[in-house]
């Protein structure tokens, strides 16, 4: 019989923090905290395995579950000396989701389960607090009807509103009618009436009674939490974060403790260090007389936890340190215990019930990239963690944010301020205002940069937040769910800009007398929490000495080299600044794309459209000095470092002149008429240019093209050597699938090499000859390819294209459908498909080494800058990865972590 339930609490705990896969993050950490002796209300975790079985059984509980639940409930009842469903001394529980890795706000939670007509009078008698009981009941009704009765049943509201909105409207109307400012102002009688009206509305709207049986409520809540694993928000979040569908969520059933029992009760969220800056200060928010959802939902502006947490929005509110100093001291001790135990920044949830502190959650806290860097370095310097742990603390993906643009401080000084809020996500961003998630997605699809402006941060906005350059909200605190999400993504975000009045109907944003409309430009400084009018200039974040120090330590663990893909001397310089150890791919044909390349491009076209060998040779001779000059300049920048120069690999269709003017110019140059140019162009047209006359094939048909390029390379080298330089060229042949192609090309290279040694009268001109592996056939016959190739560079863009049979130029039309339907969990052009493309790489590595044990192996497809792919490359035994300049730090860190973790 499978065990589905694991208990936790002061008396009996079965799990621990290592069991996240089975118990989810929340369950595993509740167990760990209980074992540490912290005040955790007793409860139990239903495993993720049970969630998967529930779906396997067609959304039915396994037969043994209800009995297990009953036994576990009895154990809690004994510990609490209360009884679930009892009319005198009723126990209430919460049901919370908790996946392996945190998915803030993406799944469901139901509080106060067990309140019904039988238990309400008992709880009132026991607490002497009728208001509290009906406040708890109305919360149960609101959450339960929304989550269990509507969403879990997949009922699509006919009026587009949903039951929760209706109930919220009823509550707001009541507050307006009676002049109540806050929920806590509602009288007991009114709260009672509201509960009755709620239940009536539910019956009218959903055509079912609100359940009055505690056991039915409990099992309904457990099933609904399971179902929320496949809710819309959770699915979107999983796609974005590449979380597999088969992880499932656990359900945590836990004794309720109440932060809404009056002025000695409270609830809060805290971080053991500042998640925005990484400063070693306790950071958090809390609310008096409230339940946990109130803090994260952003309904009220939360109070600061302590002095360190005070800011312009909350300075007027008392801190927990001031209001409840003893409890604050206890919480502060717990913060220290948790940090010492986990040796990482913790995100904690707590509740104070009538002067007693309880811990409801702890987990590794999400943080900005800056905070991650600072915390890792601080904890290392304080001796809390070792070097290896420190290096692994920074997710390579977030390095982007560290190097991300900020609002130019010089421009910011004179910019017109619109409003201030809380700095929830780092860096700066400008964009056009939109007021809904749907608009953000739509505008972004048509290549507009948008700022999503919302009343409050709401997890339903996940897709829009993703599409927006930044997020701005009027309400909510630093720990609101969407602020957590934005921070996790390193997205610029400001929350709680309370002076904004948003009208989503008229699509207007008012601040005082100023009005902004949809489409107006604003700029956010997410590090300071300030919004400005218009589109301000951005600046690259200054090179941070601490970051350099961190990277130096990381580099000391790295065994793979990191090279770069660049095509100009200017980019080569930038890449050196980021730490490139050479060029892994210089795409020769790209020198014809850039600025100032009109003339060489014209010559290239002339060459392509030449008909006879003689005509072509004239064009090649004219082209030669341009090619040589560009290569020479690049080799000079990269002196003493390897530079992989790829022979021309132009998909010809990209270079054939399209405009009449260009066609006429070519006609004049070649001394032929326009008609003839059009005819020759038509002959070059291919149905599948990606697998057409490109790469090595071009050099097989026209060896003079290879000869021109190789001569340019060797002449450039010879001249550099004569001036005392040390060029290290590596000549690379693209799109090969047969060793004879290499034999053919190598012969030309050899001849040119001999000729240049003679011409310049030099003894040695070192170079390497190798090939890209881009076609599955080449990978499979790597042993033969290695007879000629001194190095392989895996061109995983084409290798992915040809392994999947997906055109790299056309995946936009179907890739999202593959992701949405969970056929693929990621885009294989972004992250290497280890299963098949990876297998081909492993085969090629093994077979290549059999022929040539010291063969040099690298990767130069886009995957060379993707952390997961870099990890794979390390395991596969490659000696370097090559990526675009801005991704070099990412690749360096990923390679260091790969070395540490393997």
How many other CB atoms are there within 10 angstroms of residue 223's CB atom? Answer: 18
* Shortest spacing between CB 774 and ligand PEP, in angstroms: 5
- Nearest residue (CB) to ligand PEP, 526 versus 795: 795
**Separation of first and last alpha carbons in the chain:** 37
CA 53 to CA 628: how far, in whole Å? 65
Are the CB atoms for 252 and 30 separated by under 8 Å?
yes
Q: Provide the 3-class DSSP secondary structure of residue 546.
A: helix
- Nearest residue (CB) to Mg ion, 567 versus 798: 798
Report the partner that residue 825 touches, choosing among ligand PEP, Mg ion, none (CB closer than 5 to 8 A by kind): none
Token pair, residue 880, equals 């370097």
Report the partner that residue 341 touches, choosing among ligand PEP, Mg ion, none (CB closer than 5 to 8 A by kind): none
CA 733 to CA 730: how far, in whole Å? 10
- DSSP letters, 356-423, are EEEEEEEEEPP--HHHHHHHHHHHHHTTSS-HHHHHHTS-GGGHHHHTSEEE-HHHHHHSPEEEE-EE
* Shortest spacing between CB 860 and ligand PEP, in angstroms: 5
- Nearest residue (CB) to ligand PEP, 114 versus 858: 858
Residue owning tokens 């001249």: 719
If one asks whether residue 587 binds ligand PEP (CB under 6 A), the answer comes out as: yes
Name residues contacting ligand PEP, limited to 787-806 (CB under 6 A): 795-798
Please give the distance of CA 260 from its chain centroid, rounded to a whole number: 36
Strand positions, DSSP E, 381-537: 405-407, 417-420, 422-425, 428-434, 450-454, 470-473, 492-495, 500-503, 508-511, 514-517, 521-525, 530-533
- Which of 481, 746, 863, 874 is catalytic? The answer is 481
CA 27 to CA 97: how far, in whole Å? 9
* Shortest spacing between CB 783 and ligand PEP, in angstroms: 22
Give, for 576, the enclosing helix (H) or strand (E): helix 569-577
Residue owning tokens 């998630």: 437
If one asks whether residue 861 binds ligand PEP (CB under 6 A), the answer comes out as: yes
CA 349 to CA 363: how far, in whole Å? 9
- Nearest residue (CB) to ligand PEP, 146 versus 774: 774
Are the CB atoms for 114 and 95 separated by under 8 Å?
no
- Which of 860, 873, 874, 883 is catalytic? The answer is 860
Are the CB atoms for 510 and 501 separated by under 8 Å?
yes
If one asks whether residue 412 binds ligand PEP (CB under 6 A), the answer comes out as: no
* Shortest spacing between CB 651 and ligand PEP, in angstroms: 9
Give the closest residue to 100 by CA, choosing from 29, 41, 35, 33. 29
Report the partner that residue 276 touches, choosing among ligand PEP, Mg ion, none (CB closer than 5 to 8 A by kind): none
Report the partner that residue 861 touches, choosing among ligand PEP, Mg ion, none (CB closer than 5 to 8 A by kind): ligand PEP
CA 622 to CA 600: how far, in whole Å? 9
- Nearest residue (CB) to Mg ion, 33 versus 696: 696
- Nearest residue (CB) to Mg ion, 427 versus 795: 795
Token pair, residue 436, equals 């809904």
Are the CB atoms for 608 and 669 separated by under 8 Å?
no
- Nearest residue (CB) to ligand PEP, 146 versus 798: 798
Name residues contacting Mg ion, limited to 765-794 (CB under 5 A): 774
Name which position in 278, 795, 867, 885 contacts Mg ion (CB under 5 A): 795
If one asks whether residue 118 binds ligand PEP (CB under 6 A), the answer comes out as: no
* Shortest spacing between CB 587 and ligand PEP, in angstroms: 5
Q: Nearest 5 degrees, angle CA 102-CA 103-CA 104?
A: 100
Span interacting with Mg ion, options 23-31, 370-378, 579-587, 798-806, rule CB under 5 A: 798-806
Strand positions, DSSP E, 597-706: 642-646
Name which position in 585, 603, 773, 894 contacts ligand PEP (CB under 6 A): 585
3-state class percentages of the chain: helix first, strand second, coil last, to nearest 5: 50, 15, 35
Report the partner that residue 796 touches, choosing among Mg ion, ligand PEP, none (CB closer than 5 to 8 A by kind): ligand PEP
Are the CB atoms for 844 and 825 separated by under 8 Å?
no
Name which position in 424, 492, 566, 860 contacts ligand PEP (CB under 6 A): 860
Residue owning tokens 């909105």: 165
- Nearest residue (CB) to ligand PEP, 483 versus 585: 585
Residue 522 pairs in a beta bridge with 431, 533
Report the partner that residue 587 touches, choosing among Mg ion, ligand PEP, none (CB closer than 5 to 8 A by kind): ligand PEP
Name residues contacting ligand PEP, limited to 642-661 (CB under 6 A): 649
Site string for ligand PEP, 425-464 (x = CB under 6 A): ----------------------------------------
Side-chain half-sphere exposure of 539, counting CA atoms within 13 A:
10
CA 368 to CA 487: how far, in whole Å? 6
- Nearest residue (CB) to ligand PEP, 486 versus 860: 860
- Nearest residue (CB) to Mg ion, 324 versus 860: 860
Name residues contacting ligand PEP, limited to 521-580 (CB under 6 A): none
Is 860 annotated as catalytic? yes
* Shortest spacing between CB 585 and ligand PEP, in angstroms: 6
Span interacting with Mg ion, options 243-251, 599-607, 667-675, 797-805, rule CB under 5 A: 797-805
If one asks whether residue 774 binds ligand PEP (CB under 6 A), the answer comes out as: yes
* Shortest spacing between CB 583 and ligand PEP, in angstroms: 12
Q: How long is the chain?
A: 902
Span interacting with Mg ion, options 78-86, 235-243, 292-300, 795-803, rule CB under 5 A: 795-803
Number of residues that bind ligand PEP (CB under 6 A): 10
Residue ranges in contact with Mg ion by CB under 5 A: 774, 795, 798
Residue ranges in contact with ligand PEP by CB under 6 A: 585, 587, 649, 774, 795-798, 860-861
Q: Which residues are catalytically annotated?
A: 481, 860
């Amino acid at each position: 019989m499978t065990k589905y339930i694991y208990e936790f609490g002061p008396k009996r705990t079965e799990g621990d923090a290592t069991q996240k896969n089975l118990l989810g993050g929340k369950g595993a950490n509740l167990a760990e905290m209980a074992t540490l002796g912290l005040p955790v209300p007793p409860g139990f975790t239903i495993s993720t395995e049970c969630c998967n079985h529930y779906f396997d059984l067609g959304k039915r509980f396994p037969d043994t579950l209800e009995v297990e639940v009953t036994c576990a409930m009895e154990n809690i009842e004994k510990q609490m000396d209360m009884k679930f469903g009892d009319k005198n001394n009723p126990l209430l529980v919460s049901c919370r989701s908790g996946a392996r890795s945190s998915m803030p706000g993406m799944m469901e939670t139901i509080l106060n389960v067990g309140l019904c007509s039988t238990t309400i009078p008992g709880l009132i008698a026991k607490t002497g607090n009728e208001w509290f009981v009906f406040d708890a009941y109305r919360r149960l009704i609101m959450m339960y009807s929304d989550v269990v009765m509507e969403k879990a049943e997949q009922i699509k509201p006919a009026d587009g509103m949903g039951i929760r909105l209706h109930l919220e409207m009823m509550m707001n109307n009541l507050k307006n009618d009676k002049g109540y400012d806050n929920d806590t102002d509602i009288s007991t009688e009114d709260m009672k009436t509201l509960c009755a009206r709620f239940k009536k509305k539910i019956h009218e709207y959903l055509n079912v009674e609100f359940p009055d049986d505690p056991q039915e409520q409990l099992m309904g809540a457990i099933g609904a939490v399971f179902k929320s694993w496949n809710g819309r928000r959770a699915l979107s979040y999983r796609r974005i974060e590449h979380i597999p569908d088969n992880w499932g969520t656990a359900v945590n059933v836990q004794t309720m403790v109440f932060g809404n029992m009056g002025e000695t009760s409270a609830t809060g969220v805290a971080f053991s260090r500042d998640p925005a800056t990484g400063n070693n200060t306790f950071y958090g928010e809390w609310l008096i007389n409230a339940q946990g959802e109130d803090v994260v939902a952003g309904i009220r502006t939360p109070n600061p936890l302590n002095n360190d947490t005070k800011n312009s929005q909350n300075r007027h509110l008392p801190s927990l340190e001031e209001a409840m100093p003893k409890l604050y001291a206890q919480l502060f001790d717990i913060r220290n215990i948790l940090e010492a135990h986990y040796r990482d920044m913790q995100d904690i949830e707590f509740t104070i019930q009538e002067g007693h502190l309880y811990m409801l959650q702890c987990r590794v806290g999400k943080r900005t990239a800056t905070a991650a860097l600072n915390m890792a370095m601080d904890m290392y310097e304080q001796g809390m963690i070792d070097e290896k742990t420190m290096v692994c603390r920074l997710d390579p993906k977030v390095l982007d944010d560290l190097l991300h643009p900020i609002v130019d401080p010089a421009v910011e000084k004179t910019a017109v301020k619109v409003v201030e809020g809380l700095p929830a996500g780092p860096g700066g961003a400008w964009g056009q205002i939109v007021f809904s998630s749907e608009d953000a997605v739509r505008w972004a699809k048509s290549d507009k940069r948008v700022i999503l402006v919302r009343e409050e941060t709401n997890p339903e906005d996940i897709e829009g937040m993703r599409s927006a350059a930044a997020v701005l909200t009027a309400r909510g605190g630093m720990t609101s769910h969407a602020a957590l999400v934005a921070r996790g993504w390193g997205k610029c975000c400001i929350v709680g800009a309370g002076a904004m009045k948003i009208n989503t109907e008229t699509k207007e944003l008012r601040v005082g007398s100023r009005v902004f409309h949809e489409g107006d430009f604003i700029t956010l400084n997410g590090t300071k929490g300030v919004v400005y009018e218009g589109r301000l200039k951005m600046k690259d974040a200054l090179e941070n000495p601490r970051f350099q120090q961190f990277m130096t330590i990381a580099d000391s663990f790295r065994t793979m080299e990191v090279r770069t893909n660049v095509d100009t001397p200017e980019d080569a310089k930038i890449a050196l600044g980021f730490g490139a150890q050479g060029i892994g791919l210089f795409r020769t044909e790209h020198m014809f794309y850039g600025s100032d390349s009109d003339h060489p491009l014209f010559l290239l076209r002339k060459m392509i459209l030449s008909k006879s060998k003689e005509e072509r040779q004239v064009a090649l001779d004219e082209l030669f000095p341009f090619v040589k000059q560009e290569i020479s300049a690049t080799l000079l920048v990269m002196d003493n470092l390897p530079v992989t120069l790829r022979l021309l690999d132009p998909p010809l269709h990209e270079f054939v002149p399209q405009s009449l003017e260009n066609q006429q110019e070519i006609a004049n140059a070649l001394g032929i008429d326009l008609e003839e140019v059009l005819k020759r162009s038509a002959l070059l047209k291919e149905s599948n240019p990606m697998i057409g006359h490109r790469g090595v094939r071009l050099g097989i048909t026209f060896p003079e093209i290879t000869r021109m390029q190789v001569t340019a390379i060797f002449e450039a080298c010879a001249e550099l050597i004569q001036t005392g330089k040390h060029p290290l060229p590596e000549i690379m042949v693209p799109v090969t699938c047969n060793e004879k192609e290499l034999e053919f090309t190598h012969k030309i290279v050899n001849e040119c090499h001999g000729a240049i040694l003679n011409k310049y009268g030099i003894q040695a001109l070192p170079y390497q000859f190798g090939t890209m592996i881009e076609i599955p056939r080449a990978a499979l016959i790597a042993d033969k390819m290695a007879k000629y190739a001194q190095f392989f560079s895996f061109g995983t863009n084409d290798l992915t294209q040809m392994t999947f049979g997906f055109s790299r130029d056309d995946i936009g039309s179907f890739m999202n459908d593959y992701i949405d339907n969970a056929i693929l969990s990621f885009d294989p052009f972004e992250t290497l498909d280890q299963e098949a493309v990876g297998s081909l790489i492993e085969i090629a590595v093994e077979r290549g080494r059999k022929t040539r044990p010291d063969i040099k192996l690298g990767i130069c497809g886009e995957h060379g800058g993707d952390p997961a792919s870099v990890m794979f490359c390390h395991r596969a035994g490659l000696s370097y990865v090559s990526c675009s300049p801005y991704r070099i730090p990412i690749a360096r860190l990923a390679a260091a972590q790969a070395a540490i973790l393997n």
